Structure 1
């Protein structure tokens, strides 16, 4: 396993360009299975989770051609559906949570889809019921093998459009159901659908392929089924979670950083939440400029003077993937913050590592933590720690870059799952970080 050695307490300066969005790429790559024609995708991030999915598609028989950095052509004209029932697939599919989204397009086009229990971050229970209930509503039959945790759906006579109300606004669940519905007979309506920008991108891409999806950007999607889809060219948005990570990094290290080409219209509440922490963000064209916060940053209280609460919610609420970053940034704020992580019950458990570094954090329960800001009067101290998941990993990395002394982060493969060449990109703006 690799480690990062980080010398902290250094102010950084320069420009950094966000990678393509991991969570969009997982959906978009699965959608290439919907057509036998060529699909060109640009701005694909070069990260472990995405590369695993590309390998899985290749093993399924998808023809893959690399056109250049971040650009690939896919053609699923000779898909080997039989691979889904092999032991190799059970092992491969089980190592990646995003693999669940191959089921919808395979079910739509080939009448069956199988998946082992997906892997991914250990951040609490992440149910799959929404996905399979949606498929059942479209006429598929569901089966589950408890012994090897293997899920399957089949629709030998094809899928039929249906009206459905999702029990939760699941992003991957909505994506999976929409991909199944675009080739179903008749009309499908999905109420309480997720409406994240990345899901909007998926719907726009499928419309470019010949699908008929309306209501994009709302929580009510209408899909008129079509007989087949064609090819297209699609560009993935910049990763909003990585953009939030760079904002947090700039604040904690009191650095002057410009984040390039951020797609402001797709950032939602992210800039405002960081502004509530007292962080100055300036919009310069499509860039974010963050000046050096040499005098620190003051947390804003609520109107009645009560403690600021930052919580996650489905889009257009604040993304749960950035709560770990916000928590770390709050450790050096002037003021106190209550972090309320509603969606995942294990995501705050990394705070013990921050407490070891000297942060003042009270973990109230698995979902809530109170952070008492140091206002940079007491620096975090370097330590040795292990990255438990992608978002906690980047948060610990930011803490280490701001801390006094040299820190070691183990299990950095977790960070590499979601952040492309992060050590190289940080060194380019002055960070002292070594991969060993």
Structure 2
């Protein structure tokens, strides 16, 4: 599979045509959502970290470039594609202007590496997908709990690290809701400070617990239960390079599983922890689509009779809740399923505003109950037309919808899709989808 930047940059859109049910086996890339916090933790650690499984998605590659601009050495071993070694080195006297950080939604992860290097972080407000403002207030609460000073203006924000003598040996903080970004911000800030952390009401998604597991391998004491994360630094300063691995992309795996199910196919998606897909698999089983989970794969079996039971796909930050990034793919799948289905994403309040108008262009009838909640009755017949990937997950949902629409569906805006997936169309082709690239 050729995922070279030159090849993908030349393609602005893809045309999808209905065909036979998807079938076969495909392997996912490393997870963007896991790679970004792991890179942050690596740069915060103060020693070399070798990460394998780094995806070629645009947001991750941009984050690597931003770390280099921030003064970190990022080596890419030629003999191991997808691996990088992040190492601290002598930094310039002044922190660089990281204006390009405005192009990614998770740019706030750069605060901890900048504090480690310069004692301050100056960043533009987060950009990326237009799915609602990326709330930063809770992040600022985290930094203030460490004694840092936060300054705001229209263009962005600055975090000034507490003086060494005024830093906190132990920080105790309870989050008002289970924010993944704020939880990882607190963890990485504790790493930079070398302090203990007791974080109440934390986010316990695989992306967060993955960072804790990585830190444990680097000598930190890290524990997590449903109520609290506790973190403590190692005794002494460990030397040498530590090795971490980026897990397979659960969202890409779930998207491919929904595509297989939407076409009535049967296929196996490898390279992902089956345990990360329990909630999604439960929803598919409820709808009558048999699913098997393995330690490193999900298999979608051909459904003989749909249950007709309605899907209730409500995004949640609770440990056993539905990851919001699964919701768009499930909505596209629900257009093929009998029943009246409910969807909600209060976490990303602008996402439905992107997705629903594009589905309507295909002829989908979706009742908007509020800006973040909607319902639809299926199955529906869609008609191919031109639609646009206005954000990563809208793009993947439109590819699924196009697989079942009559005629050709052209999905443009692939630059948005590539921010999260290096080449999702190629994986669909590997399962037998009829997709044709449209050059710029």
TM-score normalised over the length of structure 2? 0.90
Following superposition, the deviation at residue 393 of structure 1 comes to 0.8
Aligned counterpart for 2:94 among listed residues 71, 82, 87: 82
The verdict on how the C-alpha distance between 1:185 and 1:263 changes in structure 2, with shifts beyond 3 A counting, is: closer
- Supply the distance in 2 between the matched residues of 1:75 and 1:43 (Cα, whole angstroms): 17
- Which residue of 1 is the match for residue 120 of structure 2? 112
The verdict on how the C-alpha distance between 1:38 and 1:408 changes in structure 2, with shifts beyond 3 A counting, is: same
2:360 matched to 1:351? no
Matches within 5 A, 1:391-410: 391-410=393-412
Structure 1: where are the runs of 5+ without partners? Answer: 302-307
Following superposition, the deviation at residue 366 of structure 1 comes to 0.7
- Which residue of 2 is the match for residue 163 of structure 1? 172
2:194 matched to 1:189? no
Given that 2:122 and 2:156 are in contact with CA atoms closer than 8 Å, whether structure 1 keeps it comes out as no
The verdict on how the C-alpha distance between 1:144 and 1:330 changes in structure 2, with shifts beyond 3 A counting, is: same
- Supply the distance in 2 between the matched residues of 1:271 and 1:8 (Cα, whole angstroms): 25
Following superposition, the deviation at residue 403 of structure 1 comes to 1.4
- Supply the distance in 2 between the matched residues of 1:269 and 1:194 (Cα, whole angstroms): 16
Given that 1:194 and 1:219 are in contact with CA atoms closer than 8 Å, whether structure 2 keeps it comes out as no
Given that 2:94 and 2:118 are in contact with CA atoms closer than 8 Å, whether structure 1 keeps it comes out as no
Matches within 5 A, 1:193-204: 193-204=202-213
2:135 matched to 1:127? yes
| 1:97-131 alpha-carbon deviations (Å, 9 max, x no partner) | 22211212432564322221111211112201111
Counterpart secondary structure, 2:86: strand
Following superposition, the deviation at residue 33 of structure 1 comes to 1.6
- Which residue of 1 is the match for residue 23 of structure 2? 13
Counterpart secondary structure, 1:206: helix
- Supply the distance in 1 between the matched residues of 2:227 and 2:109 (Cα, whole angstroms): 20
- Supply the distance in 1 between the matched residues of 2:298 and 2:171 (Cα, whole angstroms): 43
Counterpart secondary structure, 2:24: strand
Given that 1:357 and 1:380 are in contact with CA atoms closer than 8 Å, whether structure 2 keeps it comes out as yes
Given that 2:45 and 2:191 are in contact with CA atoms closer than 8 Å, whether structure 1 keeps it comes out as no
- Which residue of 1 is the match for residue 159 of structure 2? 152
Given that 2:29 and 2:271 are in contact with CA atoms closer than 8 Å, whether structure 1 keeps it comes out as no
Following superposition, the deviation at residue 16 of structure 1 comes to 0.9
TM-score normalised over the length of structure 1? 0.90
- Which residue of 1 is the match for residue 429 of structure 2? 427
- Which residue of 2 is the match for residue 31 of structure 1? 41
Following superposition, the deviation at residue 236 of structure 1 comes to 1.2
- Supply the distance in 1 between the matched residues of 2:38 and 2:237 (Cα, whole angstroms): 17
| 1:42-92 alpha-carbon deviations (Å, 9 max, x no partner) | 1111100000001111112222222222111121223447234x2xx1x21
Root-mean-square deviation over aligned CA pairs: 2.1
The verdict on how the C-alpha distance between 1:59 and 1:186 changes in structure 2, with shifts beyond 3 A counting, is: closer
Following superposition, the deviation at residue 284 of structure 1 comes to 5.2
The verdict on how the C-alpha distance between 1:335 and 1:187 changes in structure 2, with shifts beyond 3 A counting, is: same
| 1:249-285 alpha-carbon deviations (Å, 9 max, x no partner) | 0011222211113212233412112222222112356
Following superposition, the deviation at residue 183 of structure 1 comes to 4.2
Q: Answer with 108-117 or 257-266: which moved more.
A: 108-117
Structure 2: where are the runs of 5+ without partners? Answer: 1-10
- Which residue of 1 is the match for residue 343 of structure 2? 339
2:377 matched to 1:369? no
Q: Answer with 121-130 or 158-167: which moved more.
A: 158-167
The verdict on how the C-alpha distance between 1:292 and 1:119 changes in structure 2, with shifts beyond 3 A counting, is: same
Given that 1:10 and 1:402 are in contact with CA atoms closer than 8 Å, whether structure 2 keeps it comes out as no
Given that 2:180 and 2:208 are in contact with CA atoms closer than 8 Å, whether structure 1 keeps it comes out as yes
Given that 2:18 and 2:403 are in contact with CA atoms closer than 8 Å, whether structure 1 keeps it comes out as yes
- Which residue of 1 is the match for residue 6 of structure 2? none
After TM superposition, the runs of 4+ consecutive aligned structure 1 residues lying more than 6 A away are none
- Supply the distance in 1 between the matched residues of 2:182 and 2:293 (Cα, whole angstroms): 34
Given that 1:252 and 1:402 are in contact with CA atoms closer than 8 Å, whether structure 2 keeps it comes out as yes
- Supply the distance in 2 between the matched residues of 1:393 and 1:134 (Cα, whole angstroms): 33
Given that 1:43 and 1:70 are in contact with CA atoms closer than 8 Å, whether structure 2 keeps it comes out as yes
Following superposition, the deviation at residue 188 of structure 1 comes to 2.3
- Which residue of 1 is the match for residue 214 of structure 2? 205
- Which residue of 1 is the match for residue 258 of structure 2? 248
